């Protein structure tokens, strides 16, 4: 964006690049979502979740809602990880209480060959318009994060037709016809690269790749069918915009055993779920990358003193003077009390400041 407003708070971007910060920055996965009554009101006005995603003004409204309540250090684009498969013509819809579904899942080579690579400024224009609208309305308050699902994660939904407990169809394809699955993943890697680069061109100041289902793979299949395609995306991303670096965060849920391999992709930061101690993760990857995470979202069901205790532990366990962005280990739950989120955010800033001074 040529008319970029200078950032008033850039500690999130600085921490991702392991630069000095005055306190530990924090944002929360799914920070704009169903735990906020104002979000529920906006979604009701929109008519449906996808109608909300596809309306740039409403997507901007809900992106900014948590920033009005909490002293967060970043905004994240309000969208869905499945926008690319939807733009490929698979017919995304949401069933009440059942999550996303596709009318036309792909399960053979003919269907995969027929899939187009979407033009981000055409079929996904509503996402780019949302990015531009959010940047305009943020007025440099905090950075904006863009994102996408990883090729493997998108493929699981596209082949299964919905979320899955056993991933029988996509894993059947993986083991029974790996060449066909690679065709799909190659197409998705190209699509995600274009999509994220378009978000960066529209104004996203950091991007995150969500590999939600990478942790369901074996070590060898993770490297071949998930990490290799995230590597392609990292290699193809625009890493500079508006005169500064655009950091890239990789997050594989359940991926603690592969941190070293993930760090070697050339990303700037790794997201951690709650199944690994952040100090152990930092020891393993050194200062090659920043780390983001990693409080169990369920801590937010507890009373404020317990929330504070968990923040103390994570900040204490992180061994380096910078390179830590505080976050949950996955998205915030629907029934969390927003007052508990305020406790979390304020405690991170308070204790993170003490940690920097120590």
Concerning whether 222 is annotated as a catalytic residue, the answer is: no
Of the candidates 272, 201, 196, the one whose C-alpha atom is nearest the C-alpha of residue 235 is 196
Rg (CA), the chain: 19
Structure tokens, 327: 């976050």
Single out the catalytic residue among 35, 39, 157, 222: 157
CB 148 within 8 A of CB 192: yes
Of the candidates 165, 149, 172, 282, the one whose C-alpha atom is nearest the C-alpha of residue 226 is 149
Helix segments in 1-147, DSSP class H: 11-16, 37-46, 49-53, 56-69, 83-85, 109-113, 125-138
Residue whose tokens read 């830590």: 324
Helix segments in the chain, DSSP class H: 11-16, 37-46, 49-53, 56-69, 83-85, 109-113, 125-138, 151-160, 168-176, 178-202, 219-222, 228-236, 259-263, 278-285, 304-317, 338-357
CA distance 198 to 165: 33
Residues at the binding site for substrate are: 30-34, 80, 157, 212, 330
CB 335 within 8 A of CB 326: no
Concerning whether 104 is annotated as a catalytic residue, the answer is: no
Single out the catalytic residue among 40, 43, 109, 244: 43
Residues at the binding site are: 30-34, 80, 157, 212, 330
CA dist 121 → 72, 148, 197, 198, 354 (Å): 29, 15, 11, 8, 45
Give the CATH class of 11-357. Answer: alpha beta
Residue 73 has what DSSP assignment? Answer: S
* C-alpha torsion angle, residues 263, 268, 273, 274 (rounded to 10): 90
This prediction has a pTM of 0.96
Of the candidates 261, 259, 312, 255, the one whose C-alpha atom is nearest the C-alpha of residue 282 is 259
Concerning whether 30 is annotated as a catalytic residue, the answer is: yes
User: Using omega within 30 degrees of 0 as the cis cutoff, is the peptide bond preceding 294 cis?
Assistant: yes
For strand 92-95 and strand 99-102, is the pairing parallel, antiparallel, or unpaired?
antiparallel
Element (H, E) at 261: helix 259-263
Specify which residues 92 forms β-bridges with: 102
| Neighbour-count burial of 135, counting CB atoms closer than 10 A to its CB (0-12 exposed, 13-18 middle, 19+ buried) | buried
CA dist 117 → 77, 178, 190 (Å): 22, 21, 7
Q: What is the pLDDT of residue 152?
A: 98
Of the candidates 165, 118, 119, 133, the one whose C-alpha atom is nearest the C-alpha of residue 61 is 133
Q: What is the pLDDT of residue 2?
A: 41
Per-residue pLDDT 10s for the chain (358 aa) are 445 789 999 999 999 999 999 999 999 999 999 999 999 999 999 999 999 999 999 999 999 999 999 999 999 999 999 999 999 999 999 877 778 999 999 989 999 999 999 999 999 999 999 999 999 999 999 999 999 999 999 999 999 999 899 999 999 999 999 999 999 999 999 999 999 999 999 999 999 999 999 999 999 999 999 999 999 999 999 999 999 999 999 999 999 999 999 999 999 999 999 999 999 999 999 999 999 999 999 999 999 999 999 999 999 999 999 999 999 999 999 999 999 999 999 999 999 986 654 4
Concerning whether 244 is annotated as a catalytic residue, the answer is: no
Q: What is the pLDDT of residue 83?
A: 96
Q: Which residues have CB under 8 Å from 164's CB, separation 6+?
A: 156, 170
Concerning whether 317 is annotated as a catalytic residue, the answer is: no
Single out the catalytic residue among 11, 14, 30, 135: 30
Specify which residues 240 forms β-bridges with: 245
């Amino acid at each position: 964006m040529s008319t970029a407003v200078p950032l008033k708070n850039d500690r999130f971007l600085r921490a991702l690049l392991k630069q000095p910060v005055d306190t530990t920055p924090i944002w929360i996965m799914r920070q704009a979502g169903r735990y906020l009554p104002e979000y529920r009101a906006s979604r009701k006005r929109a008519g449906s979740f996808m109608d909300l995603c596809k309306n740039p003004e409403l997507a901007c409204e809900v992106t900014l809602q948590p920033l009005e309540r909490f002293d967060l250090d970043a905004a994240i684009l309000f969208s869905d990880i499945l926008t690319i498969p939807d733009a490929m013509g698979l017919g995304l819809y949401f069933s009440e209480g059942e999550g996303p579904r596709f009318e036309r899942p792909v399960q053979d080579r003919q269907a995969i060959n027929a899939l187009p690579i979407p033009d981000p400024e055409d079929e996904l224009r509503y996402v780019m318009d949302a990015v531009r609208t959010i940047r305009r309305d943020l007025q440099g308050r905090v950075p904006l994060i863009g994102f996408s699902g990883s090729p493997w994660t998108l493929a699981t939904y596209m082949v299964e037709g919905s979320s899955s407990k056993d991933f029988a169809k996509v894993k059947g394809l993986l083991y029974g016809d790996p060449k066909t699955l690679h065709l799909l993943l190659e197409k998705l890697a190209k699509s995600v690269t274009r999509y994220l680069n378009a978000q960066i061109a529209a104004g996203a100041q950091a991007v995150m790749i969500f590999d939600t289902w990478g942790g369901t793979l074996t070590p060898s299949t993770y490297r071949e069918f998930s990490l290799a395609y995230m590597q392609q995306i990292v290699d193809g991303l625009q890493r500079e915009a508006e005169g500064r670096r655009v950091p890239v965060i990789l997050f594989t849920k359940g991926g603690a055993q592969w941190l070293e391999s993930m760090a070697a992709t050339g990303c700037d930061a790794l997201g951690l779920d709650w199944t690994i101690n952040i100090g152990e993760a930092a020891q393993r990857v050194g200062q090659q990358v920043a780390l983001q995470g990693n409080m169990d979202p369920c801590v937010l069901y507890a009373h404020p003193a317990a929330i504070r205790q968990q923040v103390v532990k994570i900040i204490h366990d992180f061994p380096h003077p910078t390179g830590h962005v505080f976050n949950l280990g996955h998205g915030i739950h629907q029934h969390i009390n927003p007052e508990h989120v305020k406790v979390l955010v304020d405690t991170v800033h308070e204790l993170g400041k003490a940690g920097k001074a120590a």
